[in-house]
């Protein structure tokens, strides 16, 4: 039989032992006097071998309690210090680099932190952004500094001609001194006009050829080179409707129509008077010119109507077009425009509105029979508007007044948004920015290869390029990952896209595929095709090949003759540019066909080459900098990248664009998104077309989600994230703040022709559809930017 074993050291057990021992001896001890009893107790504590362990155990219990308390306190205190140390040294710390401090100043100057982010994040971000210079203007300022720097270039080089042209453009004293003389010389070369009393009746088609080939003015139709919309995307000559100075449609409100006609007539009268015309003749010819423009407008058909009828891309030969629209000598005109391309009557063309060309030809034939001199005046008046940027201040002021008057008219309902795009983008109009910016834009257009190399050398060093590629890789991975979750894609399509996704730019691919995985309306086959397309997409980041090796392109400036007047320099550069554009489409190298300047901000996608370009101008402060917190780069430049990638799948969202998809789920997602945006109020009673902007809204929402996913994955892989000091924003909050910063534009720039929603909706729409936004900004349920439901297209 074993002996029972008692645990040692417990206070309850020690007390119990003491009680039991005293109970056993109570009979003896009670017979002694009290002091003896007390003495015995003392003596027993000191000398009794039975009682010594019991008393020592009681003291040890107390000591152990104290030691345990001290140890526990030390552990808690030590862990607290350790956690503080870890958070201070491993958590996001403030960035004090010069780039970050400049960005901080920019954000503080543009935002209005008194606004509640959960109810008006647009004002929270952009409330004071009215005076902030946009990135595009900042890039132009950089070009200005380059063009105005004192540098000596090799005689006759592209750099020298670019600098000479810019200086000639800035020499307003010489332009004013020349007055209208250079323009009168141009009119004489075209045979003159009856307004000035001297007119040599030239052949109509000869004048038309000169206008289009030598002066870049297309009064009755536009002709240009462009890729076909279907594989193999070969280049073809395309004929489209012309561009007009003003809209003169008869169905406009009669009062507004009459006011537009009156203002445009005043403008044309002023042009004729500045060119020395007789006021009576000027009035007569200007009135008929307006009548011609109004008739041509009546022949136009909306783009949607032509697309619905299958008549947006009609293939016809030059011979066939000659039969349908005989007033134009098509072969000689097109040969002059696209020289040195050799054309024949059997050459195929792409015509975008054949019915318009028929009606236009009949109108021209009638005018040639009765009013050929008026037709000549109509063409010359239009040319003067095209050449306005190269003329003196009197012509520019006339253009500015016309633009201002027409803008005032368009601010009156119901004309709001109807002609804003045309009015804000009048061909040859004088921009509302300083002279240096106009000269930078023109120099950049005519000497793009030269300025591209100078800009890239100045603004896109290897570190920036490397950081930009890392950012795109992350975004593309996120997009491919998004595709995995799109439910309306079939399994075969999904698998193929995944396999290809791993071949190119790992980080960006994951985010995109992941996003597509969550789209419920994609079937597996379409999902796979979408992922496959993303994987094999070619990407050009920053400078293109022709920028890095610009010498062959610079040698193409030999045909430019500058002077003696700025107008002559302008025309010489314009002719050289048109010739280079034609030559570029004859070359077998796709990168030579790009039209995006490195200093531009917008990305560009080529259908024919399946290449997407993110120009160097995009990767500039305040959208991107290698020293910025990753949250800023992913929120601003990263969201732009993701949105452009989402544009690759616009076709799937169109009616009939994805026959194998779950169309019911897709339409439900699109309807959800349309209602989601319609629920947001707009200031000042402004409005927009939900259906017109639906595709862009889907790209905005998808782009934000993809960029956020890419940023989140990047945080898991890399440490050392930073924030901006004194802004009290977490990295995730800074991500959303940077996204909204991209949209800081005034509502006045919105018009009905713009495919995008107003800037305030481009902020609130995507953010309110992101549960992560409301979580990181602690938005209460039911707040404007934390609605009860969300939509998922991508």
Locate tokens 């080089």: which residue?
A: 157
Whether the upstream peptide bond of residue 339 has omega within 30° of 0, thus cis, is no
Q: Which of 788, 791, 787, 783 is nearest to 118 (CA)?
A: 783
In angstroms, rounded to a whole number, what is the distance separating the alpha carbons of residues 330 and 334? 6
In angstroms, rounded to a whole number, what is the distance separating the alpha carbons of residues 217 and 81? 75
Retrieve residue 613's tokens: 């370009």
DSSP for 470-486, please give it: HHHHHHHHHHHHHHTT-
Catalytic hit among 510, 700, 721, 751: 700
* Residue 419 CB neighbours (<10 A): 23
Residue 328's contacts (CB-CB under 8 Å, 6 or more residues apart) are: 205, 208, 220, 221, 322, 361, 364
Q: Which of 348, 374, 181 is nearest to 289 (CA)?
A: 374
Retrieve residue 208's tokens: 């038309």
> Is 700 noted as a catalytic residue in this protein?
yes
* Residue 551 CB neighbours (<10 A): 10
Q: What is the CA radius of gyration of the chain?
A: 38
Whether the upstream peptide bond of residue 232 has omega within 30° of 0, thus cis, is yes
> Is 644 noted as a catalytic residue in this protein?
yes
Retrieve residue 205's tokens: 């088609």
Q: Which of 678, 677, 676, 652 is nearest to 665 (CA)?
A: 652
- For 243-287, the three-class secondary structure string (H helix, E strand, C coil) is CCCCCCCCCCCHHHHHHHHHHHHHHHHHHHHHCCCCHHHHHHHHH
- Parallel, antiparallel or unpaired: strands 93-94 and 722-723: parallel
Q: Which of 258, 215, 262 is nearest to 385 (CA)?
A: 215
DSSP for 497-536, please give it: HHHHHTTS-HHHHHHHHHHHTT-TT-BHHHHHHHHHHHHH
Distances (CA, A) of 181 to 187, 202, 344, 505: 10, 22, 39, 58
Beta carbons of 399 and 426 less than 8 angstroms apart:
yes
In angstroms, rounded to a whole number, what is the distance separating the alpha carbons of residues 133 and 170? 22
Distances (CA, A) of 390 to 164, 431, 565: 15, 13, 9
In angstroms, rounded to a whole number, what is the distance separating the alpha carbons of residues 672 and 650? 17
In angstroms, rounded to a whole number, what is the distance separating the alpha carbons of residues 133 and 622? 10
In a 3-state reduction of DSSP, which class is residue 94?
strand
In angstroms, rounded to a whole number, what is the distance separating the alpha carbons of residues 557 and 165? 12
Residue 574's contacts (CB-CB under 8 Å, 6 or more residues apart) are: 215, 216, 446
Beta carbons of 625 and 99 less than 8 angstroms apart:
yes
Backbone CA torsion sign across 618, 624, 630, 631: negative
Catalytic hit among 470, 510, 644, 662: 644
The DSSP letter of residue 634 is I
In a 3-state reduction of DSSP, which class is residue 749?
helix
- 171-207: b or e for each residue (b if 16 or more CB lie within 10 Å)? eeeebeebbbebbeebbeebbbbbbbeebeeeebeeb
Beta carbons of 510 and 478 less than 8 angstroms apart:
yes
Residue positions annotated with a catalytic role: 644, 700
């Amino acid at each position: 039989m074993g002996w029972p074993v008692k645990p040692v050291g417990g206070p309850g057990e020690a007390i119990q032992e003491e009680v039991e021992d005293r109970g056993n001896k109570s009979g003896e001890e009670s017979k002694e006097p009290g002091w003896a009893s007390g003495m015995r107790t003392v003596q027993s504590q000191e000398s009794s071998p039975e009682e010594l362990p019991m008393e020592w155990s009681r003291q040890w219990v107390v000591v152990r309690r104290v030691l345990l308390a001290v140890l526990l306190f030390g552990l808690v205190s030590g862990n607290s210090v350790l956690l503080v140390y870890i958070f201070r040294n491993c958590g996001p710390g403030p960035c004090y680099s010069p780039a970050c401090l400049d960005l901080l100043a920019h954000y503080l100057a543009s935002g209005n932190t008194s606004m509640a982010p959960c109810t008006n994040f647009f004002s929270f971000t952009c409330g004071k952004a009215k005076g902030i210079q946009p990135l595009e203007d900042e890039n132009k300022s950089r070009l200005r500094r380059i063009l105005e720097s004192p540098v000596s270039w090799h005689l006759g080089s592209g750099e020298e001609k670019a600098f000479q042209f810019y200086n000639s453009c800035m020499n307003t004293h010489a332009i004013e001194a020349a007055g209208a003389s250079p323009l009168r010389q141009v009119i004489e070369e075209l045979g003159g006009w009856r307004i000035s009393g001297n007119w040599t009746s030239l052949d109509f088609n000869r004048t038309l050829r000169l206008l289009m080939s030598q002066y870049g003015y297309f009064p009755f139709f536009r002709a240009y080179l462009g890729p076909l919309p279907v594989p193999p995307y070969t280049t073809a000559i395309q004929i489209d409707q012309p561009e007009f100075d003003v809209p003169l449609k008869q169905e406009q409100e009669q009062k507004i129509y009459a006011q537009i006609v009156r203002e445009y007539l005043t403008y044309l009268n002023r042009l004729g008077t500045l060119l020395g015309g007789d006021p009576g003749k000027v009035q007569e010819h200007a009135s008929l010119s307006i009548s011609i423009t109004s008739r041509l407008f009546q022949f136009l058909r909306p783009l949607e109507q032509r697309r619905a009828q299958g008549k947006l891309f009609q293939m016809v030969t030059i011979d066939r077009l000659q039969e349908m629209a005989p007033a134009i000598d098509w072969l000689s005109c097109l040969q002059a425009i696209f020289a040195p391309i050799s054309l024949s009557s059997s050459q195929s063309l792409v015509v975008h509105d054949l019915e318009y060309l028929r009606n236009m030809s009949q109108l021209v034939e009638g005018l040639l029979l009765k009013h050929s001199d008026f037709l000549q005046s109509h063409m010359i008046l239009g040319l003067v508007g095209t050449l306005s940027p190269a003329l003196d201040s009197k012509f520019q002021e006339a253009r500015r007044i016309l633009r201002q008057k027409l803008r005032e008219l368009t601010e009156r309902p119901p004309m709001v948004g109807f002609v804003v795009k045309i009015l804000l983008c009048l061909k040859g109009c004088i921009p509302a920015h300083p002279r240096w910016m106009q000269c930078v834009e023109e120099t950049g257009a005519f000497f793009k290869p030269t300025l591209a190399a100078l800009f890239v050398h100045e603004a896109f060093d290897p570190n920036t390029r490397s950081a930009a590629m890392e950012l795109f890789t992350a975004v593309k991975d996120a997009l491919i990952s998004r595709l995995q979750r799109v439910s309306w894609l079939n399994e075969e399509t999904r698998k193929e896209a995944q396999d290809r996704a791993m071949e190119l730019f790992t980080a960006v691919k994951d985010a995109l595929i992941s996003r597509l995985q969550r789209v419920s309306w994609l079937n597996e086959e379409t999902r796979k095709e979408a992922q496959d397309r993303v994987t094999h997409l070619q990407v050009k980041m920053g400078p293109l090949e022709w920028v890095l090796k610009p010498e062959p392109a610079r040698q193409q400036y030999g045909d430019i003759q500058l002077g003696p007047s700025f107008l002559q320099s302008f025309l010489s550069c314009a002719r050289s540019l048109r010739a280079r554009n034609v030559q570029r489409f004859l070359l077998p190298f796709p990168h030579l066909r790009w039209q995006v300047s490195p200093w531009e901000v917008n990305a560009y996608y080529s259908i024919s080459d399946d290449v997407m370009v993110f120009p160097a101008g995009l990767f500039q402060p305040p959208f991107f900098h290698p020293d910025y917190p990753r949250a800023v780069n992913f929120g601003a430049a990263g969201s732009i990248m993701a949105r452009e990638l989402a544009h690759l799948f616009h076709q799937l969202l169109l009616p009939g664009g994805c026959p194998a998809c779950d169309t019911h789920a897709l339409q439900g997602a699109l309807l959800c998104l349309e209602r989601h945006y319609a629920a947001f109020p707009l200031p000042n009673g402004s409005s927009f077309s939900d259906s017109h902007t639906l595709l862009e809204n889907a790209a905005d929402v998808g782009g934000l989600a993809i960029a956020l996913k890419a940023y989140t994955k990047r945080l898991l892989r890399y440490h050392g994230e930073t924030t901006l000091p004194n802004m009290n924003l977490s990295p995730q909050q800074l991500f959303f703040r940077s996204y909204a910063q991209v949209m800081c534009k005034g509502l006045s720039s919105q018009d009905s022709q713009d495919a995008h929603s107003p800037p305030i909706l481009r902020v609130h729409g995507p953010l309110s559809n992101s549960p992560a936004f409301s979580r990181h900004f602690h938005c209460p349920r039911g707040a404007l930017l934390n609605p009860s439901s969300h939509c998922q297209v991508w």
